[in-house]
Structure 1
Amino acid sequence: MNILEKNIQALASGTNEPLALKLNDFLKNQKCTRFSLDENLNIFDLKNQVFMYNDVNQEIDYFKNAILEKTLRYPFVCIYGIGNALLLKSLISFYKHIFIFESEIELFILALSVIDLSEELSNGKIYLVDINEKKVNIQLSILFDQKDMFGWLSLYEMFINCSYYEKYFKELIEKSDNMAYDVINLVVRNLNPGSTIALMCYDNFIQNIPLILKSIPFQRIIQERKNQFENCIVVCAGPSLEKQIPLLKKYQENFVIFCADGAFSLLYKNDIIPDYILNLDLEEYPIEFFKNIDINKLEKTLFILAQSTHPSVVNFLKKNNISIVLDEDAIYKNLNLFDFGYLEVGTHVGHMCYTLALALGFKNIIIIGQDLAYNDKGNSHFGDFVLGKDVDLALNIPSLKTLAYGGVKEVLTHIGWDDYRKKLEILFVNNAQANFYNATEGGARIAFTKELSFKECCLKFANHKKKTLEIPKTLTSNRSNKLFKKSIEILKQDLHIINQTLEDAKILYNALEKILLNEDKLPLNFYYNVYKNIENFDSFLKNSSLNNRNLKGVLFFRDFELSKIIALKIQEEEKYLLLVIKVYKNWLILLMEKLNIQKESLEKII
């Protein structure tokens, strides 16, 4: 196996399979016609009749030193242009991750023919980013959201491989730079360390455990209903929903209907009974969606609730057929409640509808009411929406323009919807086994869906009436009680870990405070030892069960504050380490505050 084959195999192992496939396809069907490599590893551009490097070694040394000077202590670096890969190879030992952005398939091939990068490509040390890949934004979102990346993204800067790229690829460099910034904003926007959302989710989950164990096990729903149907409709509560009601009512017997909780009142008012009604809200207000309903009309309807649904909502609905599904996050999988299954519930109820439809094996998923934008009257929801048709306006979320349904005009949306749309696009592109038909006929355009009118969708897929399925049974009381006792034991272990972490954090905090209060100058080796203790505590957190969604914003804040110190590019080790100690000491206060809140939640049930 030659060097190129070895590198492509490493790419295909998971770091970048689309690029590996693209390279193999090129090698089978084409030859390099624009770029060539000489014996000195200089690249000749036949189109512009110019060599990439004036002097290979001299220019690589220059850009290597220039990049290192500007990225002292940086954990990662982004570079436009792979060149002959010599600059990349010379920088490997200085960073945890290197991202190489490139547009030319021939340059990828030439570079990967020169140097064996297979180990670094396999272990994620090096990421090659093909900016012409249609899913590149999604790839970057996943890469930048890694545990050892998202906290350092404020250090992002796009560097260049050599002067050649700056001269001939200026527009593509700017395009890549803007794309990276957009992805970074998406990744970090909701990582506010002061946010209480993650801990509210956890507290609701803890309170819901007894009801989870008495609800219909989600896994039974999957086992009994998977692949029973191919076609479904997901109904969301956007302002366009009202115009789709007549067709939905006409064809409701031909499709399985997944209904976002906010849309239910409009469907119920029009005698449309969904097969599934979903909710994941942390607060009590969704109770308003379900008041004054005849429970007998919903005897064949399943309410699928998230583990974080507010306990008051769960209690309000418990006389119905409810199933409480656990999120795929590690913090919930820790309980090993496999009877109740796991689902990627996302942050919006629509997302949860799509993942449920996918879990049930639907092949054609029709979407209505998913506007993700204001209509021309400024409404965010349909006219009779219980909380008000213009409820989002009162939230004062920053607005922006985005491409409209149909791809011609623009519509007004807001940051929350725009982020949600991008996350949906990631979900859709990663589930190519299903067809997503956007029949909203309004609102924002959603990539990786097929836009088709609702009427055309109904005519295309309403082949026959759906059969009625039985409601799965709950667990026996005996089985439920055993699982509850087992859960309590696991939660006791979690509480023990939190208490131990709090104790260790307090000891470390006191030690750091004592050092900072000491007016005597201490030896550099002493500061190194203190820094080692900080690294050991970080390592413990990284490998602990506490490293989950509950603390993601807190861990982000730690790295964000440390990034500020790194950005100062302090040469003196003593000064740098003292600032790290100060920042870390202050961060420990935030960590202990959040852990104590989680501890209080656990103590409610133990």
Structure 2
Amino acid sequence: MSNSEITNPRLEKNLSALAKKNPLLAGQLRLLQPNKKYEVFIGEDPLNINIYDKEDQVALFQNEPLDEVQNKIVEFESLKLYPFFYFFGIGNGIFFKLLLQNKSLKKLFIFEPELELIYIALNFADFEQDILDERLLIFWTKTSSFGELDQYLVKEGQWIYSRIYNLHIYNNYYGRYSQECLFINTILTRSLEHHVVAVGNDSTDSLIGIKHHIANMPKMIETPSLLELIKNAKNTNTAIIVSTGPSLYKQLELLKEYQDYVTIISVDASFPILVKHGIKPDIVTTLERVKETAEFYKQTPKEAQENVIFAITSIVHEDTTNSISNGIKSFSMRPFGYTRFFELKEYGYAGIGMSAANMAYEIVVLSRFERCIFIGQDLSFSIDGKTHSKDAIFGEKESQYKQKENIGDKILIEAYGGDGYVETTSVWKMFLNFFEKDIADTPYPLDVINSTEGGARIHGTRELSFRDSLSLVTKDKKKQIKLQSPTKEKIKENTKQIESKVKEFLEFGYKKKKSVEKTFLKVVKMTEELEKLNKENKLEKINWTKLEKILDEIDDIKLYFQDDLFIKAFSDAVQSYIVHQELEFAKIIVRPVNNLIEKQVKQIDWLYAHKFWLFSLAGGMDATLEVVKEEAKNWMKIPEKFYKESYIRTLSKGDKKQEE
């Protein structure tokens, strides 16, 4: 149906709103020829709308449509505090219009396998404002993918509610779309899992990253910035990202033949392999904080580093930076909160993904290459159980990656070429997720080719043999990449800035930590009172006014996580403590309250849940502040006040008196 034929003003308003938020779907709906598969029947009540499937000769509603809608509203009454809903099937749209009247509902996702049913639903309900506010998000399953959907599934931290996630099938009619439903459910669970796993469950790595970042900053500001690198990295039209999967070895001969005509961006683990085979990369990426990364440079001749640009992040170990002695180091910052705190924008931000190859792809996109070719990007075990290429310095079967013995325990993903499945690990799967997200989000028409010829399929790439992909390369000699180091004046300016930001970090951090500790002590005291009253069977003497005041203070502390400065300073170090507790808190949040007793029980549960939460938060903040202070004192003078008794985790007598 063409745009000129749309006469229903409600439909036009919905489509216009949809065009601003999901232009592809809006365009598809405008081109749709209606009444092909479905016929609409409206009863005496204009909301009593049934839809007949002419192909399968079945109605969407087996009973009175309005009765079914009303029964469904009653069914979802117990879920009225859920902030996010996911539905497979849009039906006639009336149920969702009623559901959106619930102010607790932040986002409603609808995945519909039939484009014509979306069109019909948009005729009968005014969704304009809900679409514009992004409270209602409608997707046609035929054009849905992980890369496209993931960005919508994280905007408001939906993954915090992953333990209460459910994909609701609208009604029995949609049972005929079981494969599409499973496909959507796989995408949703994959996204939720990806973001929970990415947070991690151990703060140690984050604290090590902060430690290295603080230690490396004086060195970082003396090197060419990330901005300088991406301005000059494109010395050919084609970038080849060289990873270290088992399939890499078979590609080395061709890569050597073409090395003078392409830009080779190698991950650090591939560097020794390339050197051994007479191949000099243009750029080598390193983003890991572990000491072992230095071995990739220690075990290669120093002369092999000459004229190579080593794009390294500010969180790498000092052994890594020290082992790069002949190359050109270009530091950058990963997009962590604590790196953003220092506001050195020219040095940020690369390393959004979790691997050196993810970082390499970011550099390719930022530098605006016209073509990107992956080799060695297996992201899976080879048929014979290998994890890495021949000549990899830690061997072809790294012990940290182990195949599962039982088929039910294996993580299987689609194989390269779509021919069956291959076994991967949770870490490699996370790398794959970042690739597919980044490829989907690439802001210009980059030709992304996967020439790994093995391993996992990376959706969003073209699959070509390495020889065929190289046939697209123009054999023009590449120019050398030249980078300018910052001037002495710029280094001096940035030195002042990082010193000033360290002081600001400590001043702000200790103040906030003290506030968290005071609330924690109040929670401890209140829980002790509750336990005493419970033991004495005197629960009627609970001071609810005092308890509610403490709950308000907890809410105030939780608002810290909406404060950009607090997020920058502490989110990375404390999120592994906090997030996994928040996943459980979600169950309490959505628990309905029907009377005063249920409300009071919920309040007590909320209080107890946050006892360890506050303890964890204060501990994580304290550890972060100590790391910043101890590392920064190696290159700047730390004000004495940050070492005084008032800044450690105790309350002064005055504070105690005020609390009482």
Q: Under a length normalisation based on structure 1, what TM-score does the superposition of the two structures give?
A: 0.92
Find the aligned partners of 2:179 and 2:402 in 1 and give their Cα distance: 38
Which of these two proteins has the greater Rg computed from alpha carbons? 2
Query: Deviation of residue 492 (structure 1)?
Result: 2.2
1:52-63 correspondence runs (5 A)? 52=61, 54-63=63-72
Q: Tell me if the contact between 2:451 and 2:465 (Cα under 8 Å) persists in the aligned partners.
A: yes
Q: Establish whether residue 96 from structure 1 lines up as the match of residue 106 from structure 2.
A: yes
Q: 2:478 is matched with which residue?
A: 466
SS at match of 1:190: helix
Report the 3-state secondary structure (helix = DSSP H, G, I; strand = E; otherwise coil) of the residue aligned with 1:253. coil
Cα offsets for 1:31-89 (capped at 9, x unmatched): 232234444230321322425363333221210111122x2532222222222222112
In 1, distance between residues paired with 2:153 and 2:582?
A: 14
Is 2:192 the partner of 1:184? yes
SS at match of 2:359: helix
Distance 1:64 1:486, change over 3 A: same
Question: Are positions 1:148 and 2:174 aligned together?
Answer: no
Q: Which residue of 2 aligns with 1:107?
A: 117
Residue-pair matches, total: 597
Match among 443, 447, 457 for residue 459 of structure 2? 447
Is 2:35 the counterpart of 1:32? yes
Match of 1:129 among 129, 139, 144: 139
Which residue, out of 506, 510, 535, partners 1:499? Answer: 510
3-state DSSP class of the match of 1:258?
strand
Alpha-carbon contact 1:150-1:556 (below 8 Å) kept: no
How far the C-alpha of 1:277 sits from its partner, in A, is: 0.8
Listed as ranges, the matches of 1:380-395 within 5 Å are 380-392=387-399
1:545 aligns with 2:560: no
Answer with 49-58 or 385-394: which moved more. 49-58
Q: Which residue of 1 aligns with 2:377?
A: 370
Which of 326, 329, 334 pairs up with 1:322?
A: 329
Shift of 1:356: 0.7
Of the candidates 573, 579, 582, which is equivalent to residue 599 of structure 2?
Answer: 573
**Alpha-carbon distance in 1 for matches of 2:420, 2:157:** 39
Aligned equivalent of 1:85:
93
> Is the CA contact (8 Å cut-off) linking 2:60 and 2:91 kept in structure 1?
no
Residue 348 of structure 2 is aligned to residue 352 of structure 1: no
- On the 8 A contact 2:303/2:326 being kept in 1, the answer is no
2:563 is aligned with 1:563: no
Structure 1 residue 567 displacement after superposition: 6.7
Alpha-carbon distance between aligned partners in 2 of 1:437 and 1:140, rounded to the nearest angstrom? 22
Work out the percentage of aligned pairs sharing the same amino acid.
23
Q: 1:578 to 1:114 in 2, by over 3 A?
A: same
| Contact 2:86–2:109 (8 Å) recurs in 1 | yes
For 1:410 and 1:163, how far apart are their aligned partners in 2? 32
Cα offsets for 1:332-375 (capped at 9, x unmatched)? 23322133242244110111111111111111111111111222
C-alpha separation in 2, matches of 1:192 and 1:339: 28
* Aligned 8 A contact 1:200 1:282 in 2: yes
Give the conservation status (yes or no) of the 8 Å contact 2:113–2:177. no
Secondary structure at 1:129 match in 2 = strand
Tell me the CA shift for residue 294 of structure 1.
4.2
Give CA-to-partner distance per residue, 1:301-356, whole Å, 9 cap, x none: 10000122222211322552100112234542332213324224411011111111
State the Cα distance separating 1:435 from its structure 2 match: 1.0
Code of the residue aligned with 1:576 in structure 2: it is: K
Work out whether residues 261 and 279 of structure 1, in 8 Å CA contact, stay in contact via their aligned partners in 2: yes
In the TM superposition, 1:7-406 aligns within 5 A as 7-14=14-21, 16-26=22-32, 30-39=33-42, 40-41=46-47, 42-47=49-54, 48-50=57-59, 52=61, 54-69=63-78, 71-92=79-100, 93=102, 94-135=104-145, 137-166=146-175, 168-169=176-177, 172-226=180-234, 228-291=235-298, 293-392=300-399, 399-406=410-417
> How far apart are residue 406 of structure 1 and its match?
2.2
Deviation at residue 259 of structure 1 after TM alignment:
0.7
Conserved 8 A contact 1:102-1:128: yes
Cα separation, partners in 2 of 1:293 and 1:78, compared to 1, 3 Å: closer
Unaligned runs of 5+ in 1: none
**Kindly tell me: are residues 98 and 416 of structure 1, through their superposed partners in 2, closer, same or farther at Cα, counting changes over 3 Å?**
same
CA offsets, 1:513-571, max 9 Å, x none? 22222225336565444433322222232223232444443342232121243576565
CA–CA separation in structure 1 for the residues paired with 2:497 and 2:186 = 50
Secondary structure in structure 1 of the residue aligned to 2:361: helix
SS in 1 for 2:478: coil
Q: Quote the Cα distance in structure 1 between the aligned partners of 2:247 and 2:238.
A: 21
The alignment partner of 2:240 has SS state of: strand
2:30 maps to a residue whose letter is N
| 1:423 aligns to 2:434 (yes or no) | yes
Between the aligned partners of 1:529 and 1:147, the Cα distance in structure 2 is 27
- TM-aligned CA deviation for residue 272 of structure 1: 0.9
Distance verdict in 2 for CA 1:224–1:489, change over 3 Å: same
Q: 1:175 to 1:373 in 2, by over 3 A?
A: closer
